[in-house]
Amino acid sequence: MNEIEDSNEKVQQPRLWRDNGWTAKVIKNEDDDGWAVAMTPDGRSEPALVGPWTMGRDKKNPKPLDTSAFNTLVKTASEFVRRHEQQLQATLHRQIEIAHGNGRVTVSLDIEPDDENPSATLRATDASGQLLAQARVAPSFQLTRASAGAWAAAGFRL
């Protein structure tokens, strides 16, 4: 990396723009003769999104970055990151509502990812949010209506 890439200062060059927490870098496409643009959030070493970039008028060099293109790239990359985070959250946290006793019980599964020691917690709360039970389960535990109902029917014992 050079000094420009190491700083967080605003940069506006034909192939490198940095502003609003993002860096756009136009790079040679490894797959063909075209160009790509890599969008990297500040503080990250790897791009969050890499996509095709338009050729310039000479059909040899890339089109230079400009304010409009950069703003569009930031919006697209931000949305991509947001959707990825939502998908990850949905994978790590599941919640099901079941009928139990005279009311509704919410059963949730929260997975704590860890390369060496992942874990998961199963919780049951009543309609007012009062914790009824909590248990450690394997991260591979499948939370379904049937498994939540079976846990409730067993007095919240596994």
User: Which residues lie across from 131 on neighbouring strands?
Assistant: 125
Nearest to 94 by CA among 29, 144, 130, 48: 144
Q: For residues 49 and 37, what is the distance between their CA atoms, to the nearest angstrom?
A: 8
Mean pLDDT in order along the chain per 10 residues (158 residues): 58 95 93 89 94 89 94 96 93 94 94 92 95 95 95 93
CB-CB contact of 136 with 120 (8 Å): yes
Contacts 24+ apart (CB under 8 A), 111-116: 111/139, 112/139, 113/139
* The predicted structure's pLDDT at residue 2: 45
As a whole number of Å, the CA-based R_g of the chain is 24
For the chain, the domains span 3-65, 92-153
The pTM of the full predicted model, rounded to 2 decimals, is 0.69
Q: For residues 94 and 50, what is the distance between their CA atoms, to the nearest angstrom?
A: 30
* The predicted structure's pLDDT at residue 71: 96
Question: The sheet that has 16-19: what strands, in order across it?
Answer: 11-13, 16-19, 22-28, 35-41, 49-53
